[in-house]
């Protein structure tokens, strides 16, 4: 019975890694499409959202099957329930990559009001958090998960920098207002991606320790 459960867990791990890879790629391509104003790439990211949603449903089904058939307890139960939470956050990350790309398409025929500098940095930082949070789960590495949580401050600080830059742009020229708001929304989506990666790391810690130390920052 235990060997069967372990086999199903490996299957679950592999699907979670696959889902993580899809959203990691979506973030990378959303950033590239934004910087290069690449409409076709942005549309590709938008289309990827369905793939993320399907993967979430597939993993959810695997988790429920494990719970019903194997009736895990203690650490095994924490593990499966944590995966159910993690895939919700990964699905939201996919949504945000799609949201960013939709704005990219809208802005594609307009020259940017300023050189994009800190927003791509936010994308890189958020991407690093997502990658490390998945790695922490696979490696059962509590220290790595805590590094992800601490690194969220980097994304938050970059968001504040972007927000202040955009406020300054609007103050100098009100005509920049519409695009400035769009760029601020993009920055906010990257900031939310960091928050969701933090949530994943928190659930990794819970799966290992049985303690959820942090209040969720966001639910959307």
Q: What pLDDT score does 10 carry?
A: 87
Closest CA to 59 of 25, 27, 11, 93: 11
Whether 30 maps to a domain, the answer reads: yes
In this predicted structure, what is the pLDDT of residue 1? 53
pLDDT of residue 3: 76
Q: What is the model's pLDDT at position 71?
A: 79
Tens of each residue's pLDDT in the chain, 220 residues: 567 778 888 889 899 999 999 999 999 999 999 999 999 999 999 999 999 999 999 999 999 988 888 777 788 889 999 999 999 999 999 999 999 999 999 999 999 998 899 999 999 999 999 999 999 999 999 999 999 999 999 999 999 999 999 999 999 998 889 999 999 999 999 999 999 999 999 999 999 998 887 654 545 5
What pLDDT score does 5 carry?
77
Residue 219 lies in a domain: no
Q: What is the DSSP string of the chain?
A: -HHHHHHHHHHHHHHHHHHHHHHHHHHHHHHHHHHHT-HHHHHHHHHHHHHHHHHHHHHHHHHHHHHHHH---HHHHHHHHHHHHHHHHHHHHHHHHHHHHHHHHHHTTS--SS---HHHHHHHHHHHHHHHHHHHHHHT-HHHHHHHHHHHHHHHHHHHHHHHHHHHHHHH-GGGHHHHHHHHHHHHHHHHHHHHHHHHHHHHHHHHHS---S--S---
26 domain-assigned: yes
What's the whole-model pTM score?
Answer: 0.92
**Residue 146 belongs to some domain of the structure:** yes
Task: Give the CATH number for residue 95.
Answer: 1.20.58.220
Does residue 214 lie in a domain region?
Answer: no
Q: What residues make up the domain containing 159?
A: 2-209
Q: For 64-74, write each residue's pLDDT tens digit.
A: 988 888 777 78
Distance CA 130, CA 126 (A): 6
Q: Is residue 87, in this structure, part of any structural domain at all?
A: yes
Whether 80 is covered by a domain: the verdict is yes
Whether 217 is covered by a domain: the verdict is: no
Please choose, from the candidates 9, 17, 149, 145, the residue with its C-alpha nearest in 3D space to the C-alpha of residue 75.
9
Q: How many domains does the chain have?
A: 1
Dmax (CA) for the chain in angstroms is 68
């Amino acid at each position: 019975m235990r060997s069967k459960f372990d086999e199903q867990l490996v299957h679950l791990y592999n699907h979670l890694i696959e889902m993580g890879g899809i959203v990691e790629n979506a973030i990378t391509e959303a950033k590239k499409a934004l910087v290069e104003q690449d409409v076709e790439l942005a549309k590709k990211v938008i289309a990827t959202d369905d793939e993320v949603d399907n993967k979430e449903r597939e993993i959810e089904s695997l988790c429920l099957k494990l719970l019903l058939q194997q009736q895990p307890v203690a650490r095994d139960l924490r593990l499966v329930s944590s995966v159910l939470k993690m895939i919700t956050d990964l699905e939201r990350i996919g949504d945000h990559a799609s949201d960013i790309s939709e704005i990219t398409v809208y802005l594609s025929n307009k020259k940017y009001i300023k050189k994009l500098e800190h927003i791509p940095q936010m994308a890189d930082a958020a991407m690093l958090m997502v990658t490390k949070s998945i790695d922490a789960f696979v490696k059962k590495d509590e220290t790595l998960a805590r590094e992800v949580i601490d690194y969220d401050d980097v994304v938050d600080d970059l968001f504040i920098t972007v927000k202040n830059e955009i406020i300054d742009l609007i103050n100098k020229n009100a005509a920049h207002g519409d695009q400035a708001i769009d760029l601020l929304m993009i920055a906010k989506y990257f900031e939310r991606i960091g928050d969701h990666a933090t949530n994943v790391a928190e659930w990794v810690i819970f799966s290992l320790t049985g303690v959820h130390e942090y209040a969720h920052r966001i639910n959307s």
